[in-house]
Amino acid sequence: MSVAKVGTIDLYYDEQGSGDPLLLVMGLAADSAAWMFQVPDFARHHRTIVFDNRGVGRSAKPPGPYTIHEMADDTVGLLDALGIARAHVVGVSMGGMIAQELALQHPDRVRGLVLACTYPEPDADVERQLQFSVAQFGGTVSADGEMRIDLAALDPMLFFQHLLPRVFNQSFIDQELPKLMQLFSGALQYGFSMEAIFGQVAAVMGHRTTDRLQRITAPTLVITGDADLLIPPANSAVLARHIPNARLVTVPGGSHGFNFETPEIFNREVLEFLAGVP
């Protein structure tokens, strides 16, 4: 078990392989185990680093709310602790938001950038989904975006069951439910804080980069699935349109969790892109 002290918190991380550094940044409520289908492939070509964001897994779970900006600072702090001056960065969902902020605030630290199934800011559809989800858990969202919910009464497994059909295609859920439950059970075994998870939710809802995206200088791949129900693919089109010279790849039938559901497609696209980065 490897832990880095970053500011005032501990971040759990793991690294495999050798070569050019590659940092993988995971999405909301998931820990580094969700990269299980990427690490073996990526580590054959790169020094591949995964870690648990603040709030999940074996990393610290300070009280929220969090911001994407401070989570990007966590990421830079981890690179510093590992002595890595510059790395390729791959972020999915919330991890893609962290990667955007990292590329904007610390452009010299990012070599190649991959933004998967993510957005530059929450659109009306994402806002509606949040209101629906919070209502499902017995809470409300005020006009100014403040969430009011009894987190102590919220069962983590019910939270995951609510997310499943929004993250994965139903056919995959039907065929691979044991694999999915194993993944979620793994996240639960290290202590699961609903307060910390909703700290992450606050971070993604407060994320705003649209008017700054033109400042990203790293070669960028934007990749999404056209069947993403959680973050509609139109958001990736916005990212690709605003980031200079970004390449957009849309995976037919790809769900929000397409890196987990169809890793052979995700891994091939990412590795081919990174191989072409100067």
**The overall pTM is greater than 0.85:** yes
Tokens of 271: 């590795």
Token pair 């509606």 is at which residue? 128
The pLDDT, as a whole number, for residue 178 is 79
Instruction: Check residue 3 and give its pLDDT.
Output: 97
**Any idea of the CA torsion for 81, 263, 181, 65, to the nearest 10 degrees?**
40
Q: What is the SS3 string spanning 74-108?
A: HHHHHHHHCCCCCEEEEEECHHHHHHHHHHHHCHH
Domain tally for the chain?
Answer: 1
What residues have CB less than 8 Å from 217, skipping those under 6 apart? Answer: 103, 107, 244
How far is the C-alpha of 65 from the C-alpha of 198, rounded, in Å?
A: 7
Report the pLDDT value the prediction gives residue 84, as an integer from 0 to 100. Answer: 98
Residue 47 host element (H or E): strand 47-51
CB 187 within 8 A of CB 56: yes
Q: In angstroms, rounded to a whole number, what is the distance separating the alpha carbons of residues 22 and 79?
A: 10
Mind giving me the DSSP string for 145-180? --EE--GGG--HHHHHHHHHHHHS-HHHHHHHHHHH
pLDDT on residue 145: 66
Residue 255 half-sphere exposure toward CB, CA atoms < 13 A = 18
What per-residue confidence (pLDDT) applies to 186? 62
Q: Cα separation of 198 and 29, whole Å?
A: 9
- Rounded to whole angstroms, the Cα distance separating 246 from 215 reads 12
Residue 238 lies in domain: 2-275
Could you tell me the CATH number of the domain that includes residue 28?
Answer: 3.40.50.1820
Instruction: Report how far Cα 271 is from the mean position of its chain's Cα atoms.
Output: 18
Q: What is the pLDDT of residues 163-178, one digit of tens each?
A: 889 999 999 999 998 7
Listed in order, strand segments (DSSP E) in the chain are: 2-6, 9-16, 21-25, 47-51, 87-92, 110-116, 140-141, 147-148, 220-225, 247-251
Of the CA atoms within 13 Å of residue 13, those in its CB half-sphere come to: 24
The Cα–Cα gap between 253 and 69 comes to: 32
d(CA 123, CA 128): 9
Check residue 180 and give its pLDDT: 82
CA pair distance 93, 80, nearest whole angstrom: 24
Comparing CA positions, the residue from 97, 90, 58 lying closest to residue 202 is: 97
Q: For every one of its 278 residues, what pLDDT tens digit does the chain have, with 9 covering 90 and above?
A: 699 999 999 999 999 999 999 999 999 999 999 999 999 999 999 999 999 999 999 999 999 899 999 999 999 999 999 999 999 999 999 999 999 999 999 999 999 999 999 999 998 888 887 777 777 767 677 676 677 776 676 777 777 778 889 999 999 999 998 778 777 766 677 888 889 998 999 999 999 999 999 999 999 999 999 999 999 999 999 999 999 999 999 999 999 999 999 999 999 999 999 999 99
Residue 151: its pLDDT value, please? 67
The three-class DSSP label of residue 22 is: strand
